[in-house]
Amino acid sequence: MNCIVTAGPTFEPLDDVRRLTNFSTGRLGTRLANFLVARGHRVTLFIGESATYAGERRAQSLQAFSTTADLRSQFLATAGKKVDAIFHAAAVSDFAFGKMFARSATGKLKPFRPAKKISTRGGSLFVELVPTPKILPELRGWFPRALIVGWKFEADGQRADALNAAANQLNNCATDFCVANGPAYGPGFNLVSTTRQKHLASENKLFSALARLL
């Protein structure tokens, strides 16, 4: 099977030297890609440039991405090719930087045009955070015949909240399965579909369950 696995974080630039990102290391997605390769599948690993996981990458094809827009463009470039399954484990930034403002001598906010490197000598800045476009809802249109598995990492709430968020993702994004995990879910993972939920106590059990879908 021809598979795409995404791993690691995107980032959104503030200026040419500073960026907004998250704590994703790329570990889980990279190890999933390795697991699938070991079972005879051909894997393209989209890996975030900022991923810090230093383990081996065995995917037959490696493509680094930077921003959310860059990851989106790489999916679009692949849309015309035969793809049997997509495992979208990357932690895509929820926000990007929007308008910037500086406080004038009279205390009013005025538009600020960023330089290549914003100087701290000007004092405090006020920066708008705007949502980034979501990639997952677009995948079904780009890959209508592929198995699509999304991820839902929930930090707040209880296990039921994480499972509800996973179910909402399935409905909103037309994916086949969603992996629920994170502090809200607690130890392990849950492979959620529209008809069932399956708790998986370890990473290897999750990988085995995902491989059985192919």
Question: pTM of the predicted model, to two decimals?
Answer: 0.95
Handedness of CA 211, 168, 152, 188 (dihedral sign): negative
Res. 182 pLDDT band, cuts 50 70 90: very high
Residue reference for tokens 């809200």: 184
Res. 124 pLDDT band, cuts 50 70 90: confident
75 and 137 share one domain: yes
102 and 54 share one domain: no
pLDDT tens-digit series, residues 60-117: 999 999 999 999 999 999 998 999 999 999 999 999 999 999 988 788 898 988 889 9
Beta bridge partners of 129: 97
65 and 48 share one domain: yes
d(C-alpha 187, C-alpha 74), whole Å: 33
151 and 140 share one domain: yes
Residues 133/68, Cβ–Cβ less than 8 Å: yes
Q: Which two tokens stand for residue 147?
A: 């198995």
103 and 59 share one domain: no
Nearest to 59 by CA among 78, 73, 38, 79: 38
202 and 156 share one domain: yes
22 and 37 share one domain: yes
21 and 125 share one domain: no
Range of 157's domain?
A: 2-94+133-212
154 and 100 share one domain: no
73 and 143 share one domain: yes
Q: By three-state DSSP, how is residue 169 classified? A: helix
43 and 70 share one domain: yes
Count of the separate structural domains present in the chain: 2
184-191 long-range contacts, CB within 8 A, separation 24+: 184/154, 184/155, 184/156, 184/157, 184/158, 184/159, 185/154, 185/159, 186/159, 190/162, 190/163, 190/166
CATH of the domain at 165: 3.40.50.10300
175 and 70 share one domain: yes
